[in-house]
Amino acid sequence: MPLNPRVRDWRGKTVWVVGASSGIGQATAVALHAQGALVVVSARDAAALDSFVAAHAGAVALPMDVADPQAIDAAARSILAGGTLDAVVYCAGTYVPMRATDFDLPTMERHLAVNYLGAVRVVHAVLPHFLARRAGHISLIASVAGYGGLPQSLAYGPTKAALINLAETLYLDLHAHGIGVHLICPGFVQTPLTAQNGFDMPALITPDKAAAEMLRGWAKGEFETHFPKRFTRGMKALRWLPYGAYFMAVRRFTGL
C-alpha cells in the first residue's frame, strides 16, 4: 500500500525545483523535463539557470537565494500567478566538513539557513495553495547523514536530521488533505559538495542515477526514498544499535 499518491505521469505538471543549478537538483530538473513536466528552476546561479532554460524548452528560471525569505515569497507568487503548482522539490543545500574541534558558528548558521530554514520557507510559501487544492507534492532532499551523528558532519548532519523530522511531521499533518510528502535520503552522490570529501565514498553514484531513483520512488508512492540501497540499508541499520555499539561502529567505519 503506497503511503503517498503515486506520480507516474508528469506530463503537463508544474514542478518547482529549488537548488537546480547543479548536482541532484539539476539532474532532477532534467529528468522531470524529459518526462513532460513544466519545470521551474531556482538557485542563486542565474547563469546556470539560463543555460538550463536554453537547453530545455518551456522551462522557466527564477533565480533566488533560499536564505532570503522575500526572494522565496516573490518566486512563489510568480509561479502561482501563472496557474497551478503541482509539486515542489527542495534540493538546495550547502556542506562544509566540520568537527567540533574546529567549531565555526557562521558556517553552522549558514547550513541552518540553507539546508533547513530555506525548506521551511518554501513549504510555507506553497502550502496554502496545496491546501486549497487538496492536492500537491512536497519533496525534501535530506541525507543518510541525518540518520545519526557522524564525524565531520557537525554543521551538515543536524540540518538533515531536522529535514527528516520535518518531513515525517508534515506527512502526519497533510496526508488527510491529499498532499504527498516525500523524504529523499541519498547516500554519496557525485556533486560539487561531495567533491570536498577527502576520503573514499562507498557506493558513490551519479546525480542522474539519483534522479532516476527519485522518479522511481514517486511512481511507487513511497514516503522515503533512500539510495543506493547497498549503502543506505547499512546506515539505516546503525540507527537501531545502542549508543555504545553505534559510536564504536561509526568510529570503525570512518576511522575518525
Q: Count Cβ atoms within 10 A of the Cβ of residue 3 and give its class: 0-12 exposed, 13-18 middle, 19 or more buried.
A: middle
CB 59 within 8 A of CB 52: yes
225 strand-pairing partners: 184
CB 148 within 8 A of CB 237: no
- The H-or-E segment that residue 90 falls in is strand 87-90
Written as nine digits, the cell of 244 is: 555504545
The count of other CB atoms within 10 Å of the CB of residue 145 is 22
1, 89, 124 from 190: Cα distances, Å: 32, 19, 30
Cα(66)–Cα(245) distance, rounded to whole angstroms?
38
Written as nine digits, the cell of 53 is: 532554460
Q: What is the residue type of 11? A: R
**Residues forming the active site:** 156
Q: Residue 174 in 3-state DSSP?
A: helix
CB 137 within 8 A of CB 175: no
Cα(163)–Cα(183) distance, rounded to whole angstroms?
8
Cα(186)–Cα(226) distance, rounded to whole angstroms?
5
